[in-house]
């Protein structure tokens, strides 16, 4: 079915101004690279997401979900499909009990942690410095400083690929390191309830400030990146392997292994996705050749190669 038919149906079904065509993905990823998406929907409600999924399925058109675009690398040819972007209107964080909160998938992790702090709820301080949204944090079981999102999840609301609403418990989500049932079955996270504990707002704020200070000291936050590029290999640390291989500062075009933290690849200003991908390939080959360890990407690689 022609793309124009899908665009027409989306524009008829969704609020004005929420359907974009040919939108550069570099505007919507923290790496600041990536070609255009065929069509993008700025979704501000679960109903918008459900309608979009239903229409994409009806027209047999592929779709993906994005939040802050912080853990993805979009190739230079862009995305042949529909990108459903969690909009600002889908980012509420509200109390759901004496020591629990519910957060929409589009809520930024730092704002989620700040809201919990304001409510005097502790336990989610670690998430404040993780770039991205709650939907992405749940989907990939994001973690930092010895804690993971699964530690505080109570229940998850999601859509399956057929557009059916699901309610899943923490146990049913099958969390493991940087993985969940949602990733395995390509579910769409709509939101989650988090079980926290009472705390002193000033003490919570101090912990957030401490963790974020440590992050600023150790990570190249002054440059566009997608966070840690590689998963932690069993028995090793990816950044140490890359550093030991002498790859700190290695470059392909404007893509560079950070000299501050070897687990990050940064965009020094004009990197293309192809530069980043070539640098990833070189790192993997050199580390395997020197240490026999295969580095797997944690960053999701999406889209098509640019036409030559």
Set 32, 157, 170, 178: catalytic member: 178
The one catalytic residue among 128, 150, 228, 258: 228
**Among candidates 121, 113, 115, 118, which has minimal Cα distance to 97?**
121
The arrangement of strands across the sheet holding 93-97 comes to: 93-97, 100-104, 188-195, 153-159, 165-169
Catalytic residue from among 23, 148, 193, 298: 298
Backbone CA torsion sign across 258, 143, 207, 225: positive
- CB atoms inside a 10 Å sphere around CB 16: 6
Locate 302 and state its tokens.
Answer: 């999406």
Q: For residue 196, which of 100, 114, 98 has the smallest C-alpha distance? A: 100
Is there a catalytic annotation at residue 178? yes
Catalytic: 298?
yes
What is the signed CA dihedral for 42, 34, 229, 140, rounded to 10 degrees?
A: 20
Q: Would you call 228 a catalytic residue per the annotation?
A: yes
Chain centroid to CA 3? 27
CA angle (24, 30, 32) in 5-degree steps: 45
User: Which are the catalytic amino acids?
Assistant: 178, 228, 298
């Amino acid at each position: 079915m022609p793309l124009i038919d899908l665009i027409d149906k989306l524009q008829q079904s969704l609020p004005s101004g929420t359907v974009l065509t040919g939108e550069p993905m570099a505007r919507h990823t923290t790496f600041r690279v990536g070609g255009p998406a065929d069509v993008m929907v700025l979704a501000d409600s679960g109903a918008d997401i459900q309608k979009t999924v239903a229409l994409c399925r009806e027209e047999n058109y592929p779709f993906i979900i994005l939040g802050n675009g912080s853990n993805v690398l979009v190739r230079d040819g862009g995305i042949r499909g529909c990108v459903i972007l969690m909009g600002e209107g889908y980012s509420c964080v509200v109390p759901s009990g004496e020591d629990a909160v519910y957060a929409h998938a589009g809520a930024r992790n730092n704002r989620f942690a700040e809201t919990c702090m304001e409510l005097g709820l502790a336990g989610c301080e670690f998430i404040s410095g993780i770039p991205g949204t709650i939907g992405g944090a749940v989907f990939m079981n994001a973690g930092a400083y010895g804690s993971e999102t699964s530690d505080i999840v109570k229940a998850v609301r999601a859509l399956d690929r057929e557009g059916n609403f699901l309610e899943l418990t923490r146990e049913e989500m099958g969390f493991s390191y940087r993985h969940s049932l949602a990733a395995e079955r390509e579910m769409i996270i709509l939101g989650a309830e988090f079980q926290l504990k009472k705390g002193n707002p000033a003490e919570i704020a101090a912990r957030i400030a401490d963790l974020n200070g440590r992050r600023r000291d150790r990570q190249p936050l002054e440059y566009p990146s997608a966070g840690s590029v590689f998963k932690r290999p069993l028995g090793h640390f990816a950044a140490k392997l890359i550093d030991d291989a002498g790859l700190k500062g290695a470059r392909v075009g404007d893509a560079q292994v950070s000299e501050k933290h070897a687990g990050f690849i940064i965009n020094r200003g004009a990197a293309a996705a192809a530069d980043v991908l070539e640098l990833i390939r070189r790192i993997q080959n050199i580390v395997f050749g020197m240490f026999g360890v295969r580095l797997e990407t944690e960053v999701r690689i999406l889209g098509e190669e640019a036409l030559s």
